[in-house]
Amino acid sequence: MHFALNEDQVAVRDMAREFAAEKIAPHAVRWDEEKHFPVDVMREAASLGIGGVYIREEVGGSGMTRFDAALIFEALAQGCPTVSAFISIHNMASWMIDAYGNDAQRHKWLPKLCTMELLASYCLTEPGSGSDAAALRTRAIRDGDHYVLNGQKQFISGAGKGDLYVVMVRTGADGPGGISTLVIEGDTPGLSFGANERKMGWNAQPTRAVIFENVRVPVANRLGDEGIGFKIAMAGLDGGRINIAACSLGGAQCALDKSLAYMKERKAFGKRLDEFQALQFRLADMATELEAARTFVWRAAAALDRKDADATMLCAMAKRFGTDVGFEVANQALQLHGGYGYLSEYGIEKIVRDLRVHQILEGTNEIMRLIVSRKLIEGAR
């Protein structure tokens, strides 16, 4: 039961928090404005073990838990949610190779993924299939010892800068049973990218379409058997949902901390803002909601570590609740800053923009409700 962190967990959290404060936070607004992807800083983070948080140690990973990861990604997101979120996606894609790859695949790719010498992207969504992921159309046709790929993935984080793409493709009939997972190297002939998307937030990481035109990929790059790709994708998303909820908590905590500091200094009608009871109550509600969400994320992460039967449902619950609360707390923080909250130099509006997409990615919050309701109805039968 995780109602208090042990000594090791406190050390892990503090290490990530100090790195974020020193190496990420001072540059976050500029990175957002310049659409700069700070690969060098992420590699520094990887040198602390953050490039492969829950990857096995034999291939260079840190061998930590999903609970540890939640602490790390929340702490990093206090510096910049966008950077933390990309590192979390890199970890998710790397974990899929660790969990479902054979020894040759794991030893070939994971040591450099854990140092972030190689960057990994997760490729599931397509222009015509987002929430209905099992309807994906990217086709891989077997040709001897290779697959020939044609199709397109959409909204891919790190696309164009990445070295490995963990791609869900259709190798069989329609539906989830016809999907397989291939690891595709970024310099493979026929692989290209769309323009860097102009986005509301998440500007410190590139988002592009990944396009496959007669791309030949060795069969040796397939993770597991044909037909289990949808299972692999969904297993990756269980952890990814915990990670992105943790990123929302970190961004919201930063916004709350900025609000507390601002309200100590700002005066209105002869009083500091933090002396007005109505505003004190708003701060109390923000902190309470944030703590409730944090407790939920910890609960779901612990369940995933134990492989509990209800872990998938709890991950969906925590993702929905954590990302909704994170965005609302950040939005309230902007309101508490008044007009200054709308100015980029205070960093609040950036957090609001960054956290908004967390309610969409890793499965929209409407899909999280669908997952939860289905599990509840199945359990009642």
Q: Give the CA distances from residue 159 to residues 81, 88, 165, 206, 297, in Å, rounded to whole numbers and listed in that order.
A: 18, 15, 8, 6, 28
Share of the chain residues as helix, strand and coil, in percent rounded to the nearest 5: 60, 15, 25
- DSSP summary character for residue 276: -
**How far, in Å, CA of 277 to CA of 259, rounded?**
15
Question: φ, ψ for residue 167 (rounded to 5)?
Answer: -120, 130
Among candidate residues 146, 219, 215, the one with its CA nearest the CA of residue 181? 219
CA angle 360, 362, 363 (to 5 degrees): 65
Contact 304, 242 (CB under 8 A): yes
Question: What tokens appear for 217 in the block?
Answer: 């990929």
Of these residues, 126, 289, 328, 362, which one is catalytic? 362
Among candidate residues 144, 108, 116, the one with its CA nearest the CA of residue 52? 116
Pairing of β 179-185 and β 164-170: antiparallel
Q: Which residues of 180-192 are buried (b: 16+ CB within 10 A; e: fewer)?
A: bbbbbebeeeebe
Terminal-to-terminal C-alpha distance of the chain: 29
Residue 226 designated active-site: no
Among candidate residues 75, 118, 74, the one with its CA nearest the CA of residue 93? 118
Contact 291, 252 (CB under 8 A): no
Question: What tokens appear for 128 in the block?
Answer: 């015509």
**How far, in Å, CA of 347 to CA of 28, rounded?**
8
Question: What tokens appear for 53 in the block?
Answer: 């948080």
Pairing of β 164-170 and β 120-123: parallel
Sign of the dihedral through C-alpha 45, 49, 52, 53: negative
Q: Would you please indicate which residues are annotated as catalytic (active-site) residues?
A: 362
